[in-house]
Structure 1
């Protein structure tokens, strides 16, 4: 009888629903413009959002979207050697499990992560023999959506290719 009561309680507790979003999703986290609705799919409810930029090495820039103190989404810009592929880059990052590669091999995306190759016209004097890649990782539990991730990585990669990162 006690077990039945506990199961009934946990079933009711699970149906409480998700937290409301009391924050506004930024439209240009770390300077790269994106429609907020593309990010909203992967962000949890909560009270506040902050954006934390970092540069862990000379060829990588990160932008973390932090909701109520927890990293929810990480966007990364990284330079890799020419001849690498989205699949090769994806192998170096978490959240790319069961990723699908687009027909043109520029993108790999899963429900919780993706990699996109900036256009071949994207050059940088600081990285003359490298190609710029965009990486997105979702750390929010229960936020997996392959279609939404494909739209997000495509938009992020295109925005990155026309940003100041490319000359």
Structure 2
């Protein structure tokens, strides 16, 4: 009977036929931080966004051709705060709402701002590539019904830490 319950429960769980990527456009993020945001599917791809504006880099994760996560790094002038950076970061809309829904409660715990669908972090850089500026990292999930705020905070913390160890900061 126990085996029957396991088979039933296991077969109803989503199937991922792909491996979670070890790198997001050159930035290493632990798989356990990405996993809660990734749906069932056959193929995953990681694609850098077009560098249309100097100082802004994008990275998009797609499963079976549908975007599920996007990440951005953006340089701002020295002294820029989280709230100001949130006004233009991908998927963020200021101090009262964040993410895709627009009516979500924002948690502000410097150096992070986050909700269940979007997050922003100020990146700690030892040797910033742009010495007179500050670097911010953002993440956005395309499926608003998935993870919670705490999971998003863990994701942006891991991403910001990894960006802080990247070529942007060393």
Please indicate, yes or no, whether the TM-score normalized by the shorter chain is above 0.5. yes
Structure 1: which 5+ residue stretches go unaligned?
1-15
Query: How far apart, CA to CA, are the structure 2 residues paired with 1:71 and 1:122?
Result: 32
Q: Match of 1:3?
A: none
Q: Match of 1:10?
A: none
Offset at 1:98? 2.0
- How many residues align structurally? 148
Q: How does 1:126-137 map to 2 (within 5 A)?
A: 127-137=130-140
Query: How far apart, CA to CA, are the structure 2 residues paired with 1:60 and 1:87?
Result: 18
Q: Match of 1:145?
A: 148
**1:122–1:132 CA contact under 8 A, matched in 2:** no
- TM-score w.r.t. the length of structure 1 is 0.81
**1:38–1:152 CA contact under 8 A, matched in 2:** yes
Query: How far apart, CA to CA, are the structure 1 residues paired with 2:67 and 2:127?
Result: 29
Offset at 1:121? 3.3
Q: Which runs of 4+ in 1 moved over 3 A?
A: 16-19
Which one of the candidate residues 77, 101, 114 is aligned to 2:119? 114
Q: 1:132 to 1:19 in 2, by over 3 A?
A: same
Query: How far apart, CA to CA, are the structure 1 residues paired with 2:124 and 2:57?
Result: 18
Query: How far apart, CA to CA, are the structure 1 residues paired with 2:121 and 2:144?
Result: 23
Structure 2: which 5+ residue stretches go unaligned?
1-10, 93-97, 99-103
Query: How far apart, CA to CA, are the structure 1 residues paired with 2:28 and 2:127?
Result: 17
Structure with max Cα Rg: 1
Q: Is 1:28 matched with 2:23?
A: yes
- TM-score w.r.t. the length of structure 2 is 0.80
